[in-house]
Chain A
Amino acid sequence: MLEAALPKVVIAPSFAIMIIFIYGFILWTLYISTTKSTFLPTYDFVGLVQYAKLWRIERWWVACRNLLVYGGLFIFFCTILGLLLAIFLDQKIRIEGALRTIYLYPLALSFVVTGTAWKWILNPGLGIERLVREMGWSAFTFDWLVTSEMSIYCVVIAAVWQSTGFVMAMFLAGLRSIDDSIIKAAQVDGAGLRRIYWKIIIPSLRPVFFSTFIILTHIAIKSFDLVVVLTRGGPGYSSDLPATFMYAYAFTRGRLAMGAASAMLMFAMVMAIIVPYLYSELRRKRYA
């Protein structure tokens, strides 16, 4: 009978870890977000005061607006470029292996490294600005990195550079799994290549679009390292994202409860996207 219990015994530690370190901790954070904790946690319940306060803080608004701008552009460009590259790579390209290796290597890099590289390239004194001026356009200015209204776009540039290859890989896998005979049937029906792509291939990649969207959204919401390295959330807090906001409030400014509240809101954002996704994925698997 010991044998019968073995699987449960083996799973038990992981189960305990999951309950404590994931769900327990989430509840703890939720609880802290309903207190007045500052540097140290206190446990007197004050309701949703922190959440109400949060929405009165200009910096949180900036972070959320930035997330919308950054997330939107990041997802848009990654998807468009990734799809384009995947379709082009899928045209029996001779050096496909080498190209794929090149497109994907940024994914092996830490966001910190990516940030360091782009921080240097985009820096107004010696970077692209200088390069273009040396080429003859002496009035050229490119100072997004140090301009409040533009700094978030620098984050977009670096993030797109890093993640496009991943989207390309997803789409390429999708393209390769399309049943060849459908395409042959369309060719026999006399459809041209462009029409086949628009009417048959791209529509049949819908599940890949869906997964890509979910994953990129998820990456966008969690983005932290890149902003810290590239702009440190600045100038001022102009390029803050919820993740950097949370870090600043919880770890450097000693506003634990506020940090916890912002973390819970991030959690809510991710869950709003992930739960329906996982639900549909698991359900699809079950009835597949």
Chain B
Amino acid sequence: MPEAIRQSPSEVAHRIFIYGVLLLFAVYFLVPFFVMFITSIKTMDEIRTGTLIALPRQPTLEPWLKAWGYATIGVTNEGIQGFFWNSIRMVIPAVLISTFIGALNGYVLSKWRFKGSDTFFAMLLLGCFIPFQVILLPMARTLGFLGLSESMWGLVLVHTVYGLAFTTLFFRNYYVAVPSELVNAARIDGAGFFRIFWRIMLPISIPIFMVTIIWQTTQIWNDFLFGVCFSTGETQPITVALNNLVNTSSAVKEYNVDMAAAIIAALPTLFVYFVAGKYFVRGLTAGAVKG
């Protein structure tokens, strides 16, 4: 940014204004989460009598325990825990498989280009953007045909397949910036396709692995559309379960339990965000400025 030369009174006022606006927005972004949190540790009585932002007089963990262990979701009374593990079981294989294949694809598309490889890449890139509604119906049929529509593996397959475009894109763009001379040097040193991949490319790919894994984890964990279309009952991921909990038509709405469940559903991705924010943001902008 342009440098302020010296601090006159009007400039000081200017600075205060800027900080004021920035802090106001910080509050705006934080309030919803704050409200969620305090609501989740209030009793329903307090919720009915108090306001959104009133601090809890008698904080309680009961809503959390209920959300986790015995809230009614769909036809079960076992809270959100089972769905939480469902999501974990879905995310891990889907992320690992799609990332690894993406790395190999990216390596080929950047360093071993052949006639048609650019066309393939362009076609794949377009695949990043399709509205998934356009593949939902055939996918549902296919999963049924494969006998996967009732199992977590169906969702693993779906997320792997539709994650490939992104992971390939990430790795391809990262590897394009790696000088081809490096690959040529290794070829002259006698290394072949896989040896160059293992010994030269993978060791320098840690940052892009972080970016890709975090991106995929967030995307797959947070997915709702595939979850709601391709899973039923016991195999649903946590986002679908949360929606079922929140949008249940049962008589009494337990907002505190809803909020606790929402925070539980958000924790893994928030954790990733706070631990590896740098890579998270890089993935966002990389995923955004595609191509």
Which residues of A approach B to under 8 Å, CB–CB?
Answer: 3, 6-8, 10-11, 13-15, 17-18, 21-26, 28-29, 32, 41, 81, 84-85, 88-93, 99-121, 126-128, 130-131, 134, 161, 165-166, 169-170, 173, 175, 183-184, 187, 193, 196, 211, 215, 218, 221-222, 224-225, 228-229, 232, 242-243, 246-247, 250-251, 256, 259-260, 262-264, 266-267, 269-271, 274-275, 278, 281-282, 285
Q: B131: CB under 8 A from chain A?
A: yes
CA distance A215 to B289 in the complex (A): 9
- Tell me if B137 and A259 are in contact (CB < 8 A): yes
- Residues of B near A26 (CB, < 8 A) are 130, 134-135
- Tell me if A108 and B273 are in contact (CB < 8 A): yes
- Tell me if B131 and A222 are in contact (CB < 8 A): yes
CA distance A6 to B229 in the complex (A): 37
CA distance A269 to B48 in the complex (A): 45
- Residues of A near B4 (CB, < 8 A) are 92, 193
CA distance A165 to B47 in the complex (A): 30
A120-B255 contact, Cβ under 8 Å, with A25-B139, A105-B273, A278-B125? yes
A10-B105 contact, Cβ under 8 Å, with A259-B137, A266-B133, A282-B291? yes
CA distance A92 to B3 in the complex (A): 9
| Interface locus among B56-64, B199-207, B242-250 | B242-250
- Residues of A near B179 (CB, < 8 A) are none
Closest A residue by C-beta to B27: A102
- Tell me if A166 and B284 are in contact (CB < 8 A): yes
CA distance A221 to B134 in the complex (A): 12
Name 19 extra pairs, CB < 8 A, besides A32-B138, A221-B131, A282-B122.
Answer: A6-B192, A11-B109, A14-B101, A84-B21, A88-B22, A92-B4, A99-B25, A101-B277, A103-B29, A121-B35, A121-B52, A126-B48, A126-B52, A166-B284, A170-B288, A263-B133, A266-B133, A278-B129, A278-B291
Q: B85: CB under 8 A from chain A?
A: no
CA distance A242 to B192 in the complex (A): 50
Return 17 A-B CB contacts under 8 Å, by A number.
A7-B112, A15-B120, A21-B135, A29-B138, A84-B21, A88-B22, A90-B1, A107-B273, A108-B280, A112-B262, A116-B259, A121-B32, A126-B52, A166-B288, A183-B2, A193-B2, A267-B134
Which residues of B approach A to under 8 Å, CB–CB?
Answer: 1-4, 15, 18-19, 21-22, 25-26, 28-30, 32-33, 35-36, 39, 47-48, 51-53, 101, 104-105, 108-109, 112-114, 117, 120, 122-127, 129-139, 141, 161-162, 164-165, 168, 192-194, 218, 221-225, 228-229, 239, 242-243, 246-247, 255, 258-259, 261-263, 265-266, 269-270, 272-274, 277, 280-281, 284-285, 288-291
- Residues of A near B22 (CB, < 8 A) are 85, 88-89, 93, 99
CA distance A1 to B139 in the complex (A): 38
- Residues of B near A264 (CB, < 8 A) are 134
Closest A residue by C-beta to B158: A21
A117-B25 contact, Cβ under 8 Å, with A17-B161, A91-B1, A246-B133? no
A11-B117 contact, Cβ under 8 Å, with A108-B218, A120-B39? yes
- Residues of A near B26 (CB, < 8 A) are 99, 102-103
Nearest-neighbour CB distance to chain B for A235, whole angstroms, equals 14
- Residues of B near A228 (CB, < 8 A) are 224, 228, 243, 247
- Residues of B near A11 (CB, < 8 A) are 105, 108-109, 117, 120
- Residues of A near B108 (CB, < 8 A) are 7, 10-11
CA distance A166 to B32 in the complex (A): 17
Nearest-neighbour CB distance to chain A for B255, whole angstroms, equals 6
Which 9 interchain pairs have the tightest Cβ spacing?
A: A110-B222, A7-B112, A108-B273, A225-B224, A263-B133, A25-B138, A25-B135, A116-B262, A28-B138
- Residues of B near A90 (CB, < 8 A) are 1
- Residues of A near B165 (CB, < 8 A) are 18, 22
A243-B133 contact, Cβ under 8 Å, with A29-B138, A130-B52, A131-B53? yes
- Residues of B near A22 (CB, < 8 A) are 123, 126-127, 130, 135, 165
Closest B residue by C-beta to A28: B138
- Tell me if A21 and B162 are in contact (CB < 8 A): yes
Closest A residue by C-beta to B269: A108
- Residues of B near A25 (CB, < 8 A) are 134-135, 138-139
CA distance A274 to B18 in the complex (A): 36
CA distance A183 to B138 in the complex (A): 54
- Residues of B near A23 (CB, < 8 A) are 123
- Of B130, B221, B290, the most chain A CB neighbours within 10 A belong to B130
- Residues of B near A113 (CB, < 8 A) are 222, 239, 242, 262-263, 265-266
A7-B193 contact, Cβ under 8 Å, with A85-B25, A229-B246, A263-B131? yes
Nearest-neighbour CB distance to chain A for B128, whole angstroms, equals 9
- Tell me if B222 and A109 are in contact (CB < 8 A): yes
- Tell me if B32 and A170 are in contact (CB < 8 A): no
- Tell me if A117 and B33 are in contact (CB < 8 A): yes
> Among the listed A10, A28, A105, A218, which residue makes an inter-chain contact with B129, where contact means beta carbons less than 8 Å apart?
A218
